[in-house]
Structure 1
Amino acid sequence: MGKMKLKIKFFREGPHSTLCDEEFYDAVETGLDKIDEENQLRDRLKQKVVSIPTSPTTSAAKHRLWPEIDKVSTEQLHYARLGVGGAGGWQLFAEDGDMRMYRREEEADGLVVDPLKACHVVKGVTGHEVCNIFYSPEYRSGWEATLEDMTVVEKISDDTLVFLQTHKRIWPASQRDALFWSHIRRVSDDQDPDAHDLWIVCNHSTEYTEHPPNAGKCVRVYLTVCLVCQTFIDPPKEGSEITRDDITCKITYCSVVNPGGWAPAAVLRAVYKREYPKFLKRFTSYCIDQCKDKPILF
């Protein structure tokens, strides 16, 4: 009997990948489905006991990064509050109940960096609670589906942290990591007197010599993300205390993500269309579940 020769193909991320766009997307979709299954199993087996951190401070103003942190956070709050109509080029690409997701198609150096803007309304949680969960490291693995590892590189202050995150590899793409500062603050809201409070979390990529980009197996992702939350309270019945049934949170989520390495534009946009709505629904459901049996935090 003659010997059979086994041919093994090695697929590498890049514009010369031997996978066509459809095969590339199918592979990424399969990898994401597997991560979903793993997360569902983990959620059933593991119950997290966490605490909501205290109100943020402003001691980050003494840090070398503060001018950038303050500038970017202020800009992102402004952008988040702008509408999506007019000549901005926003396209509605997902809609589910009160959730709306918009994007603009943009590329930088041949890479898809489509800005995303999502608007959602959820009941039973405050803006402070939602932003705390988005910001605090102890909650991160509960709602960020692709997270493999997370390190707090520096605690600048109670309201400002620097994170290094590694995300699970989704074949055939290379594994990704991200290095970014994260800042949470409460802001005054003169635009909407009916809103009881307004909170923002802003994440923005940074550089540390101790953690250079693309030095190992991971491709560095560059991002600017903000989450803006407003709390609205329906007046309770006379003589009654405010309950979670009286609370509504308006959420605006904005992001610009540069994937750092090549992937087919059509594939990335198809993945974003599938994953962003899942992310926002997962995150808000997680917030409701974490807060439902706790005292209300305004």
Structure 2
Amino acid sequence: MRSGYVTRFIKRFLTINEGPHSVLADDEFYDAVESGLDKMEEEQELRERLKSGQVIPVTPPPTSPAALHRLWPEIEKVVKQEVAMAKLGVGESGSGWQLFAEDGEMRMYRREEEVDGMVVDPLKAVHVVKGITGHELCHYFFNPQYRYDWETTLEHMNVLETISEDTLVFHQTHKRIWPASQRDVVFWSHLRRFPNDQDRDGPDIWTVVNNSTEHPDHPANAGKCVRIFLTVCLLCQTRVDPPKAGAPVTRDDITCKISYCSVVNPGGWAPASVLRAVYKREYPKFLKRFTAYVKNQTKDKPIMY
């Protein structure tokens, strides 16, 4: 009798987990994911209050030049492509962009696309934030020692390889959000600065580009995690308003224009309506949370141009 009960329990557990035959309706699936995300935010707030201030060490850079690394041709190609796309306005970068979230200076757009039935909507956000620079935003976005502070779904992060001081290969495992399967991702991340073509006397433009890659120590979908595949570009341009004659530049004189572009294939399976609802909820919150984090981190520090 007890054995039969256990068998029925296991079968029910397996059917309610992620998959096209899940017994959960789309609204129930979304409610479960939303509840999981809310719990992660609460845990993050507690972690920030208890944070010990430990810094994650980064492996020293290799002696060989980054340009000789096997990934470098791909990095150069993808960075140029993503920066060019991020610079384009929504009307210039292709048809089909839909405004799906708006909050003050922030606008978020998407194009509805699917690959093999999985939602992979390209997303683009534009935002303007006062008091911080593009260098500061990209510094905190790229540097692994800060990632646990602002990425609330992160369970474990490891730097697999240091190609150079501005190029790292990461493996990240994200917390499981029931009823979806746990996810992980392997990607290279590259930090770069380049001159401002529109204002050669102004601060440089900064960018961070992340792109999925393969690593022999962490093959895709080989364990309990479903592999995420992504391409992300954070492009930041700083504007400095001239202060009054003789006065020093303060953070009140600084404004940063942000373009954030991403294409994420979450892998596995989840209802399209749920994924789009999660994107609509989470992407604006992420951008507001991250920029607020950088403002808080830099408010009493010298300006980093």
| TM superposition score category, shorter chain reference | over 0.9
Question: 1:297: how far off?
Answer: 1.0
Q: Structure 1 residue 165 and structure 2 residue 164: aligned? A: no
Change (3 A) 1:20 1:115: same
- Give the Cα separation in 2 of the matches to 1:170 and 1:207: 24
Q: How does 1:1-298 map to 2 (within 5 A)?
A: 8=9, 9-10=12-13, 11-46=16-51, 48=53, 59-85=65-91, 88-193=95-200, 195-298=202-305
Change (3 A) 1:50 1:100: farther
Q: What do the CA deviations read for 1:155-205 (whole angstroms, capped 9, x no partner)?
A: 000000000000000000000000000000001221455752201100000
In the superposition, the TM-score normalised over structure 2's length comes to: 0.91
Verify the 8 A CA contact 2:106 2:128 in the aligned structure 1: yes
Question: 1:100: how far off?
Answer: 0.5
Change (3 A) 1:49 1:209: closer
Change (3 A) 1:229 1:264: same
Verify the 8 A CA contact 1:125 1:249 in the aligned structure 2: yes
Structure 1 stretches of 5 or more lacking a match?
none
Q: What do the CA deviations read for 1:57-85 (whole angstroms, capped 9, x no partner)?
A: x9422211000001000100000011112
Change (3 A) 1:26 1:182: same
Three-state SS of the structure 1 residue aligned to 2:228 is strand
Three-state SS of the structure 2 residue aligned to 1:169 is coil
Question: 1:49: how far off?
Answer: 7.3
Question: 1:12: how far off?
Answer: 2.4
- Give the Cα separation in 2 of the matches to 1:59 and 1:73: 18
- Give the Cα separation in 2 of the matches to 1:80 and 1:277: 17
Change (3 A) 1:192 1:88: farther
| Aligned-residue RMSD, C-alpha | 2.1
Question: 1:288: how far off?
Answer: 0.4
- Give the Cα separation in 2 of the matches to 1:261 and 1:49: 34
Question: 1:211: how far off?
Answer: 1.0
- Give the Cα separation in 2 of the matches to 1:89 and 1:192: 31
Verify the 8 A CA contact 1:91 1:103 in the aligned structure 2: yes
Q: What do the CA deviations read for 1:83-112 (whole angstroms, capped 9, x no partner)?
A: 112652100000001001000000011110
- Give the Cα separation in 1 of the matches to 2:117 and 2:199: 40
Verify the 8 A CA contact 2:17 2:178 in the aligned structure 1: no
Verify the 8 A CA contact 1:125 1:244 in the aligned structure 2: yes
Question: 1:231: how far off?
Answer: 0.6
Three-state SS of the structure 2 residue aligned to 1:236 is coil
Q: Give the letter for the 2:47 counterpart.
A: R
- Give the Cα separation in 1 of the matches to 2:133 and 2:113: 33
Three-state SS of the structure 2 residue aligned to 1:181 is strand
- Give the Cα separation in 2 of the matches to 1:175 and 1:195: 44
Verify the 8 A CA contact 1:143 1:282 in the aligned structure 2: yes
Identity of aligned residues (%): 69
Question: 1:145: how far off?
Answer: 0.9
Question: 1:47: how far off?
Answer: 6.2
Change (3 A) 1:48 1:285: farther
